[in-house]
Structure 1
Amino acid sequence: MRTVLVPHVVAGALRLGAPESHHLLRVICLPRGGSVRVTDGTGNEAHATLDDVLDGLACLTVGALTTAAPPPPCVVLLGMPKPALLEEAVTLGVECGATALWLVNAARSLPVAPRLDRLERVIDAALKQCRRADRPALSAFSSIDGAIRAAPPGARFLAAPGGASAAEAWSAAAPQRNGDAAYSLAIGPEGGWTPGEIDALLTAHFVTVNLGTAILRAPTAVAAGLSALNATRLR
């Protein structure tokens, strides 16, 4: 079932805005009577039916609302990669469960400002594709120091060659964890973090975690890191 992102999910009549109406009517070509899933990105969702089209806008009838429990915080501190890889990294972060994506202007990042408006649309598209009900937050930091200061309480991991396995890293970072354990994961840009940035992360109690022997692109590292840490959170 297709997903539509709306500002608020309320049972009853709902008229979509122009962008979502265009997507639903012209891209998906949903017929009258067809069903969709609507979510507001804050955990609320419902099934809805396309009843009519008025002035080019889709008119839905929204069914009973359900609200999912918020997921545990999962923050990715991503040293900004090349622009060609950034959108894919953000997409995979959404698909693999990140609740916040922090773009860090690392010492080895290219001096290119990220297009946050474009990346917000990338997040929306990924949210609908993977049928999440919670929308990750997107932020940008001018240095790793600012991101470290803002990092939430919980386990902290640094993707690094020679680090511990995901299970060992969890045991070191949060030995009394449960399935709701919050964590942050720092992933460097092409060329990696500088020695000074690594020292700052280690001083802030980031535990190194090994993602394998191959050199990974930023999107692959995001997917591999989140998948490994999520899979071993309960062990």
Structure 2
Amino acid sequence: MPVVQPRVEVTLLLSVVKFDAFEWAIEKATELAVSTIVPLAAERGEKALLTAAAKRAERWKKILLEASQQCRRVRVPVLGELAKAESIFSASKNGLRVMLSERAMATPLRRILEGQRTTRVIMAIGPEGGWTDAEFEAARSCGFLEASLGRLILRTETAVIAALASLNYALDRE
């Protein structure tokens, strides 16, 4: 069987959530062709999890390697260091920048993706408690577009799959 190389470079800024859910999410994100995963220290994230996150990095790298082998990827996704939301938003310069939101005013992701021809996407997915107003403002000031996956409030790990599958469908054209 041939190996697979993604056409779109996707960086996933993923809020640290309970470790079983986070690990499941990064495994599925790898299967859905992300290039980089950055664990995010969101303001509403559980502080105990953030403290323990650094100790889990080796385990997370192993999950990325195994998921890459399973789906025959050429490259294993890069696992970035735990970062605060505002600092990683400001460091995200190139490509389509999207922040998932549960707010009613958020533009549907499908509408944001219509007609896009980008080869680089930065997708930020927040914690179970949602983003704070300060995080929304920081992202917006750095060029992130607020996007919705619909009317239902999804768990973080479910949002990862829904968002990445939507990106792949819309942007990974032959």
- The reply on whether 1:153 has 2:153 as its aligned counterpart is no
Matched, 1:187 2:128: no
Alpha-carbon distance in structure 1 between the residues aligned to 2:33 and 2:150: 20
The percentage of counterpart residues that share the same residue type is 29
RMSD: 2.2
Deviation at 1:70, TM superposition (A): 6.4
Runs ≥4 residues deviating over 4 A: none
Instruction: State the one-letter code of the partner of 2:111.
Output: E
Q: Output aligned runs, 1:99-114, within 5 Å.
A: 99-111=35-47, 112=49, 113-114=52-53
* TM value normalised by structure 1: 0.64
Larger Rg: 1
- In 2: Cα distance, 1:234 partner to 1:218 partner: 23
Name which structure has the greater RCO, CA cutoff 8 Å, separation 6+: 2
**Gaps in structure 2 of 5+ consecutive residues:** none
1:139 aligned partner: 80
- Counterpart CA distance in 1 for 2:128 and 2:40 is 13
Residues 79-98 of structure 1: pairs in structure 2 closer than 5 A:
79-98=15-34
Q: Which stretch shows the higher mean deviation, 209-218 or 181-190?
A: 209-218
Choose the corresponding residue for 1:202, options 116, 140, 145.
Answer: 140
Alpha-carbon distance change, 136 to 232 in structure 1, aligned in 2, over 3 angstroms: same
Is the counterpart of residue 120 in structure 1 residue 120 in structure 2?
Answer: no
Q: Please give the secondary structure, in 2, of the residue aligned with 1:108.
A: coil
Is there any run of 5+ residues in structure 1 with no aligned partner, and where?
2-36, 38-44, 46-67
Q: CA deviation at 1:117?
A: 0.3
2:166 corresponds in structure 1 to: 228
Q: Offset of 1:184 from its aligned partner?
A: 0.6
Q: Structure 2 counterpart of 1:199, which letter?
A: E
Query: Between Structure 1 and Structure 2, which shows a larger proportion of helix residues?
Result: 2
- Which of these residues, 217, 221, 224, is aligned with residue 155 of structure 2? 217
